[in-house]
Amino acid sequence: MKITRKNGLKGTVSVPGDKSISHRSIMLGSIADGITEVHHFLQGADCLSSIACFRQMGINIENNGDIVRIHGKGLHGLKQPSDILDTGNSGTTTRLMSGILAGQNFECIVNGDASIQSRPMRRIITPLSLMGASIESLKGNDCAPLKITGKKIKGIHYDSPVSSAQVKSAILLAGLYAEGETSVTEPVLSRNHTELMLKGCGGDITSNGTTAILRPVERLEAQKIVVPGDISSAAYFMAAGLIVPGSEICIKNVGINPTRDGMIRVCQAMGGNIRMENIHEVCGEPVADIIVSHSNLHGIMIEGDIIPTLIDELPIIAVMAAFADGQTVIRDAAELKVKESDRIAVMTENLSAMGVDITPTDDGMIINGGKTPCGAQIQSHLDHRIAMSFAVAALASDGETEIIGSDCVNISYPTFYNDLFNLSK
């Protein structure tokens, strides 16, 4: 993909459904009783991996590209898959599904692509093992492939060392099958979509600060789920609207759950013209239209409790920082090293190639912005968020930018380039 400077991005865009919520709709729909109907489901490769895995376990999932209908078989209706469960590039499928598998009465193997096979799984192996599950990293390196032998498990209280919704959710989903109460405390509250959706389908779950407490129930009920637009996808249009001169973009129907809205707060703190309209609630999730226009941004400090609320947006925030006057410091974000790629290293490599002054640190990066970046050859490292971040950077940079491995946007946003380029027509 080759991209050059554009002027004045104008118009309205509707981003695809939220990735986290789409995954959860498949998992909870599969173990609920009845038909779960999902509207605005994200048809990205990651969520299709979740569909494929649950189909392998005997769940009938109809997907007509618009509405997904999951014929749930109840908490104890999954059957042993006859083959390896392939989670593709999806950390969410791998970790959340492992929680469900921990409580089944069968054994199976979970594996994914090269990126998944290098991502840390100790973080779920430890708590699920404490619950009594048997999970083995077959290569002995704490990564997938994982052999999971479902067991009779028991509830635990777990003090998670990381603020990770994937870890929290894996434990809570296992808790559905455990004897007694299961609770998870995390340092900072991570996205709470599992808790909200569980509540929506009749789960017994409460939250107290950064602790989620779940008690097993006899059954979960199917529900109609309307998935809000993904704020992590909307983030690319927020950034594009702010950094491309002459732009004004309206992003419709974006989920603004407070555990996910750090990007909006950062845009405001950097001096961005950004506002929300039409705020309402859909299936327990707050939703709004977001309007952005070109702004003179300035650098800021990003650290502490806000980090989990914008963890997936840090690559595009780093791009905004390159266009902002002064220094932006990102701290407390060591988790970036264990995402689809090492996002500290990959952002440093690629922003440096564009002539941006960036220094990687142990838990983030320091960017001295304000000098127009130069087009360069960008290595996506097959990380969708890296490809999309640099497609946006290219729109306001000198010369031509070429993104190697640009197709990886299919993971979370198959129509990304079309939607982006439509705004500059």
Q: What residues are labeled active site?
A: 312
Between CA 144 and CA 213 the distance in angstroms is: 28
Using the minimum distance from each CB to ligand S3P, give the nearer residue, 108 or 311: 311
> Which stretch in 26-34, 163-171, 210-218, 403-411 sits in contact with ligand S3P by CB under 6 A?
163-171
Q: How far is the CB of 119 from ligand S3P (least distance, A)?
A: 9
Per the CB < 8 A criterion, the answer to whether 179 and 141 are in contact is no
Contact assessment for residue 328 and residue 266, using Cβ atoms and an 8 Å cutoff? no
Span from 1-9, 59-67, 161-169, 354-362 in contact with ligand S3P (CB under 6 A): 161-169
Is 191 or 294 the residue whose CB approaches ligand S3P more closely?
Answer: 191
Give the type of residue at 255.
Answer: G
DSSP string, 68-101: EEEEEE-TT-----SS-EE-TT-HHHHHHHHHHH
Decide whether 20 or 223 has the Cβ nearer to ligand S3P. Answer: 20
- Among positions 332-351, residues that touch ligand S3P (CB under 6 A) are 335
45 in contact with ligand S3P (CB under 6 A): no
Radius of gyration of the chain measured on its C-alpha atoms: 21
Segment lying near ligand S3P (by CB under 6 A), choices 7-15, 165-173, 289-297, 314-322: 165-173
Q: Which of residues 47-106 bind ligand S3P (CB under 6 A)?
A: 92
Site membership for ligand S3P, residue 20 (CB under 6 A): yes
In the bound state with ligand S3P, the residue whose beta carbon lies nearer, of 167 and 251, is 167
> Does residue 312 belong to the site contacting ligand S3P (CB under 6 A)?
yes
Sort 231 into a burial class: Cβ within 10 Å, 0-12 / 13-18 / 19+: buried
**Residue whose CB is less far from ligand S3P, 232 or 295:** 232
Distance, CA of 385 to CA of 249 (rounded, Å): 20
Minimum CB distance to ligand S3P smaller for 44 or for 370: 44
40 CB neighbour count, 10 Å cutoff: 23
Among 45, 133, 165, 320, which residue sits at the site for ligand S3P (rule: CB under 6 A)? Answer: 165
Q: Does the protein bind ligand S3P through residue 164 (CB under 6 A)? A: yes
88 neighbors 162 (Cβ within 8 angstroms): no
Neighbours of 371 (CB within 10 A): 12
Q: Which amino acid is at 128?
A: L
What minimum distance in Å lies between the beta carbon of 397 and ligand S3P?
Answer: 26
* Beta carbon nearer to ligand S3P, 6 or 193: 193
Quick one: residue 327, left, alpha or beta (phi over 0 = left, psi -120 to 50 = alpha)?
beta
Segment interacting with ligand S3P (CB under 6 A) among 162-170, 177-185, 237-245, 285-293: 162-170
Return the range that interacts with ligand S3P (CB under 6 A); candidates 131-139, 158-166, 213-221, 356-364.
158-166
Residue 229-268 contact track with ligand S3P, rule CB under 6 A, x = bound: ----------------------------------------
Q: How far is CA 98 from CA 124, 165, 250, 269, 378, in A?
A: 8, 14, 38, 38, 34
Structure tokens at 224: 């109609």
d(CA 323, CA 370): 5
| 311 scored as a contact of ligand S3P (CB under 6 A) | yes
Binding residues for ligand S3P, total number by CB under 6 A: 11
C-alpha dihedral sign at 336, 339, 344, 347: negative
Is 192 an interacting residue with respect to ligand S3P (CB under 6 A)? no
> Smallest gap, in angstroms, from Cβ of residue 77 to ligand S3P?
24
According to DSSP H, which parts of 214-313 are helical?
Answer: 231-243, 262-269
For residue 10, give both structure tokens: 């104008």
At its nearest, how many Å lie between ligand S3P and the CB of residue 343? Answer: 10
146 is a site residue for ligand S3P (CB under 6 A): no
Site residues for ligand S3P per CB under 6 A: 20, 23, 92, 164-166, 169, 191, 311-312, 335
